Structure 1
């Protein structure tokens, strides 16, 4: 239950409970102090039973059959004595005159007992001389036609006496109940609120110490437990962000180390050749041309490395702009491969394009996709050592995707390193540091991810490597 509702109910209980308690106390005070016994039923006073009932029935029979005995003092007195033993008293009335009253009721008058015709099937309460009785009444007619009544008054002070005796205890019990109600409500409400607060405080303390390996579990669905769930999600996100930061920091250090290594070798070569020219070692035109060509090659490699690093850093932070358009994948691939076909032939590599009548459209950035194909193809060229070399590019329709496969007949990649070829600065042969920057396939992987596809590689059993990537097809309505 929401804390807001709990607080409302708690405050309502704290207000309603005192009202109920005060109302009950006032009612009991009214009953006890006013002595208004008319409010009580015979259940308070107890129903007449046992010997009193037998005597009452005997008197009723006497009134019906032998009325003259009601005037016999010895008979009536014997009945009265028996009633007194049962804490009851006898009253006989004729007309408006009480013709007999027990010794305990000498001051009773006709006004103290019920009127003729008020008899009931159960005793009714009356008050005589500030004493309380329950009355059994039997009405009849004397032989001369006058109204008559027989009353048996049982002593019944138990309720009032008990109430007066035990009222202070009852009052204190009610006050104690009121206090306990408020204390318990306050305790449970504070526990309901403070327990989640303690959890959050402990969790915050752990986080301040750099400890993220813990879990706080909510135990309800109220606002504070929702806050606990949100806090735990924040902890997980913060933990992941710190782990990612550490990973990036590790990659940054590795990147700096790799860049330093990749730049140091060509720069050292350039400095060496420049010093050779300055010192006159290159003393012929042919040798000078050789030195200049080498310097140009090393500078070109450095420039290429810088460009690739710049592109990769932009891809990492999603700052490289892409210009997507709908392109026929077969025509696009065919046009680009024709451009590089002659260059590959000069390197002794045959280029084969297999599309099997795939005529689907894809949504791509032309320049970025050319960069992907170029990086994969020329990565294969570097590691093809057999003659003739062969690179095959094929297209396959995979329902919602177009699968592009670029395979070669080079030496392949060790099986345990296949998953690493799309990692930055990875080289099959690290000693060949000038054969490439080791960034080409990493850049290709990043670009394919932006296109919503996936990229992977596998070895060919007969030798060589296959690199696959997928592109999303454009539906008939022009959407991906």
Structure 2
């Protein structure tokens, strides 16, 4: 339920509930004062009957019975006196009228004149009758005597009016009303404020934790209103902030590691170049052949540094997703066969390459980037291969929605401790980390970044017997078929 609806219902309840409770309160007061639950069916202005009224009504009904069985008995004043002697204690009285003459009048109503009574034919109950300045209730029963004259019996009772009770019990009623109003409004306010203040307090505590750098907590709410949505959005913001801080920390650690690795990899060639330059300046290279050797070494070191910087630049761009990819449908069989042919031509003596494939497969790739991946993997195999001839076997497998390319070599392989780290930047399985074998330590890391940008995965496995196998997957186009060779 929305807060707007909740506020509307709450405000309506704050008006209606006190009214309902007040009505119930007054009805209960009526029951307490009258002792008769029948008061629930009476109007307030009609006056409330006291418990003694039931006794007076029984006497009145007894006299009514005489009117039909022995009306002349009503003329016996002593008999009537014996029946009604206790009525005065109950603030009630009986009047018996024959024609226009009063035959009997109880002491309680001696002050009432004949003119104060209704005429014959007005039989019934009148809850409010003013006699003088006093309020009474009156019952009238009409009948005929044996001689045919009109007769009437009246029961006059002092009713207790609501206003009299209100004046008498004003403090109780007043404080009861105040208590009801305050209680119902306080109760409604409590439930209303709890549903609003609880999520607000929850957000306040969460904001304080975030300001102190505490992000390892979770906000839970079952509410589906605006505040519930706010709590969920706030928790999502906390989660994003946590991820952002963790990412920033990871980037910072990577940056520090990158700087350390760059410093290490550049220090060696720079030191070497400096040494050779100083040798030339000091006249150590005192022959044309020696000078040329020094210059060739300086050039090689400079080329190595340029290659390292170029690889580092590419890796940084791949890391921040700023390299553009031009994907196209490529028939992988033809693509790999062409690549292998060029590879054989460039390394016709030191390299032996074979290729096997399940069937003709198509993948969605960037040609230039994929060639770079293959070059980095194969150069890495050739660089660390300790055999006279480096044997490479490239295979192509169908994996449903993906194509798997495997590159297996016959080199020394990698230890089980290092196999999961070879795709880290600047990682070399050779602990000496020298540049004799060439390379920047970024080749496989760049290959991993490119494959991930293709939406695939790359991993390494120990080959059976000897060597290392590197596998990577490429996604097939949605409508597999056709493509470029």
TM-score, normalization by structure 1 = 0.86
Distance in 1 between residues matched to 2:409 and 2:168, nearest whole Å: 109
The alpha-carbon deviation at position 429 of structure 1 amounts to 0.4
Q: Distance in 2 between matches of 1:72 and 1:45?
A: 29
Per-residue deviation, residues 78-131 of structure 1 (Å, max 9, x unmatched): 3332443554311112234433221221232456445545545x8955443444
| 2:409 corresponding residue in structure 1 | 408
Question: 1:451 touches 1:471 (CA, 8 Å); kept in 2?
Answer: yes
Question: Aligned residue for 1:330?
Answer: 333
Contact 1:394 1:404 in 2 (8 A): yes
TM-superposed CA distance for 1:43, in Å, is 6.8
- Alpha-carbon distance in structure 2 between the residues aligned to 1:441 and 1:395: 20
Once the two structures are overlaid, the 10-residue window that deviates more, 470-479 or 416-425, is 470-479
Note if 1:6 corresponds to 2:6: yes
Count, aligned residues: 467
CA distance in 2, matches of 1:424, 1:62: 121
Q: Deviations over 1:340-394 (max 9, x none)?
A: 1133333x221111123x2222111111000000001111111110233211100
1:73 to 54, 61, 77: 77
Query: 1:330–1:44: structure 2 CA closer, same or farther, 3 Å change rule?
Result: farther
Structure 2 residue matching 1:341: 3-state secondary structure = helix
Among 337, 352, 355, which residue is 1:353 paired with? 355
- What displacement does 1:23 show? 10
- Post-superposition Cα deviations, 1:437-475, rounded to whole Å, max 9, x if no partner, equal 110011001100111111111101301111000011123
Q: 1:54-69 counterparts in 2 under 5 A?
A: 55-69=59-73
Contact 1:263 1:302 in 2 (8 A): yes
Give 1:215 deviation, angstroms.
Answer: 3.4
Conserved 8 A contact 2:22-2:180: no
* Secondary structure, aligned partner of 1:417: coil
Q: Check 1:428–1:114 CA distance in 2 against 1; reply closer, same or farther (3 A cut).
A: farther
- What are the equivalent positions in structure 2 for 1:299-448 lying under 5 Å apart? 299-346=302-349, 348-356=350-358, 358-434=359-435, 435=437, 436-448=439-451
Cα contact 2:330–2:362 (8 A) shared by 1: yes
Cα distance in structure 2, aligned partners of 1:6 and 1:349: 79
RMSD: 3.3
Distance, in Å, in 2 between the alignment partners of 1:365 and 1:23 is 83
In structure 2, which of residues 92, 106, 109 is the aligned counterpart of residue 105 of structure 1?
109
Q: Which residue of 2 aligns with 1:454?
A: 457
1:179 paired to 2:182:
yes
Conservation of the 8 A alpha-carbon contact between 2:419 and 2:461: yes
What's the counterpart of residue 34 of structure 1? none
CA drift of 1:409 comes to 0.9
The alpha-carbon deviation at position 171 of structure 1 amounts to 2.4
Q: Check whether the contact 1:45–1:134 (CA below 8 A) recurs between aligned residues.
A: no
Q: Specify the SS of the correspondent of 2:85.
A: helix
Helix, strand or coil for the counterpart of 2:394? strand
Cα distance between partner residues in 1 of 2:13 and 2:69? 64
Aligned counterparts of 2:413 and 2:118: Cα–Cα separation in 1: 121
TM superposition shift of 1:58: 3.8
Aligned-partner Cα distance in 1 for 2:18–2:63: 52
SS of residue in 2 equivalent to 1:420: coil
1:115/1:320 CA distance change after superposition, 3 Å:
farther
CA gap 1:391/1:77 in 2 versus in 1, 3 angstroms: same
CA distance in 1, matches of 2:300, 2:403: 37
Q: TM-score, normalised by structure 2?
A: 0.85
- CA shift digits 1:144-203 (9 cap, x unpaired): 323222223344337554333113321232133223444444454444434433333333
Structure 2, unpaired ranges of 5+: 28-41
* TM alignment of 1:199-214, pairs within 5 A: 199-214=202-217
Structural mapping, 1:27-46, within 5 Å: 44-45=49-50
1:14 Cα shift? 4.5
Q: Distance in 1 between matches of 2:432 and 2:115?
A: 130
